[in-house]
Chain A
Amino acid sequence: MSAQPELPEDVRAMLAADAREIAPPPGAREQVLDRVFTSVGVAAAVTATAGGASAASAGGAISASVKWTLAALALLTAAGATVVVRQRSTARSSAVGRPLTDRLTQPPQRVSAPIERAPIAVHDPTPAREPTSASLPAPATDRAASIARRAERPAIEPEDALEQEQRLLARGQRALAEGRADAVLDAVRAHSQQFARGALAEERDALEVRALLLARRMDEARAKAERFRRRFPDSVFLSAIEGSLREP
């Protein structure tokens, strides 16, 4: 089995504890079943749930109210209104009572709420384009740039090479956990030499930033982080890196 950064025992124990099945709220099972049968247009089985007859009639009533809700939403949407879909107040009274179909049928609407952080950009290899004009680069140039970016990651990598990459980075990860910045950077350097464009290049570069921070080489860490952000603008490691840079 390939080497991977191991989770500490206490984290493993927490994960195992969290995996214990938790009982749903009382009544959730029957209520969800009623809603399912309503959604699929099937009468609830009389013998399947406790109080089956009432469940069946409740399913019919719910179906009618859902239809009126859909009709109302359709009218409001046509009128250009922005409908707040999430109904927290009703959800709080019952974990299972919120109508579902309003959320499913609501056409996508962008709520103009301010965003505290810059949104994670969808990774698009082609650069953003201004309105077309004769002075813009020809599409072939954009395609070439796109191909060059995609070439940074190989499409296919043998599994044994991936295992080797993981082993190198796991060595660096262990050294990081032990506070040995030089050993981390050795592992990063070895990975760069052997797998410059490897499948785990992103993980390697993130590890390097953390090693530089550990070594208190702050200017280098910031520069490396900036290059990382440009190269991997939608990386899942970005928030952790930025958080580490902000820490005293």
Chain B
Amino acid sequence: MQAPLTADANLDPATERAAPARGALASDDERRARFTALYHEHFDYVWNVVRRLGVPPQHIADVTHDVFVTVFNKLDEYDPSRPPRPWLFAVAFRVTRNQQRLAQNRNERLTAGEEPLDSIDPQPSAEDGVGAAQERAMLRDALDTLDLERRAVLLLHDVDEKPASEIAALCAIPVKTVYSRLYSARSLLMAAVARVRARRGER
């Protein structure tokens, strides 16, 4: 099992503007080259992590930017011999959480109900139909009732099939908290799905 990921308390990119530390990276060129390679290989992954964590479509680009600014500034801490995605997920999770707290402090409602004109969802294929689109919308409504912490645990465990120990490391929480959040996330999600279906007249 990998050693626990670094749980940095301060991942606010607004305060991470200092010149990059010259630790393992020999030069700015090397840092830029390594970052650029990482960026292009995992941009879609990070974008989708931010999306799945419930960031509204009109804010995904901003939060993704914040994530990669943090990645750039923390590049010295990443061990290239290990898979990058767990580290990237941990960064995305913390950045998203920090942004949500900032928004809440400003009494800003980051509602996820409005889609931008150029929606990121692809055009439904011939196999998709109105039903699939409605199901996605219903699931999105139900998932949006979960807070970020529970949503992350649910997605990591039930969809990505990560073990509890790995989820604990990614989210910087004890294993027992993973189980507690998973329990409540499933309960809340099922209740939310039932309510949404009832509103839409499904039974």
Contacts and interface: CB of A to CB of B under 8 A. Distances in A.
Counting chain A residues whose Cβ lies within 8 A of the other chain, the interface size class is 35 or more
A24 B43 contact: yes
B118 A95 contact: yes
B33 interface: yes
B187 interface: yes
Contact of A18 (B114, B139, B182): B139
A219 interface: no
A105 B43 contact: no
A25 B109 CA distance: 24
Given A25-B118, A39-B13, A19 B159 contact: yes
A218 interface: no
B85 interface: no
A36 to B, nearest CB: 5
Nearest to B193: A11
B108 interface: yes
A177 to B, nearest CB: 8
Contact of A24 (B17, B66, B120): B120
Nearest to B135: A14
A22 B51 CA distance: 9
A163 B182 CA distance: 13
B110 to A, nearest CB: 9
Interface in B8-61: 12-14, 17, 19-20, 28, 32-33, 36, 39-40, 43-45, 47-48, 51-52, 57-58, 60-61
B106 A111 contact: yes
A223 interface: no
Interface in A95-125: 95-96, 98, 100-101, 103-106, 108-111, 113
Interface stretch (A40-48, A132-140, A180-188): A40-48
A167 B46 CA distance: 35
Interface residues of B, number: 77
Interface string A153-166: 00001010011001
Contacts of B160: 19
Given A24-B44, A96-B61, A5 B176 contact: no
B5 interface: no
Contact of A32 (B61, B175, B191): B61
Nearest to A240: B191
Contact of A36 (B68, B118, B150): B68
Contacts of A39: 13, 17, 65, 69
Contact of B57 (A4, A95, A106): A95
Given A19-B52, A239-B145, A45 B32 contact: yes
Given A4-B182, A12-B158, A41-B17, A48 B36 contact: yes
Interface string A163-183: 100100110010001000000
B108 A33 contact: no
A110 B195 contact: no
A70 to B, nearest CB: 11
Nearest to B192: A240
B39 A203 contact: no
B17 A40 contact: yes
B155 to A, nearest CB: 7
Given A35-B65, A170-B183, 6 more contacts: A24-B43, A48-B40, A88-B114, A203-B180, A239-B145, A240-B195
Interface of B: 12-14, 17, 19-20, 28, 32-33, 36, 39-40, 43-45, 47-48, 51-52, 57-58, 60-62, 64-66, 68-69, 72-73, 102, 105-109, 114, 116-118, 120-122, 132, 135-136, 138-140, 143, 145-147, 150, 154-155, 158-160, 175-176, 179-180, 182-184, 186-193, 195, 198
10 contacts: A4-B182, A5-B183, A25-B118, A41-B17, A42-B28, A100-B62, A104-B12, A113-B107, A236-B184, A243-B195
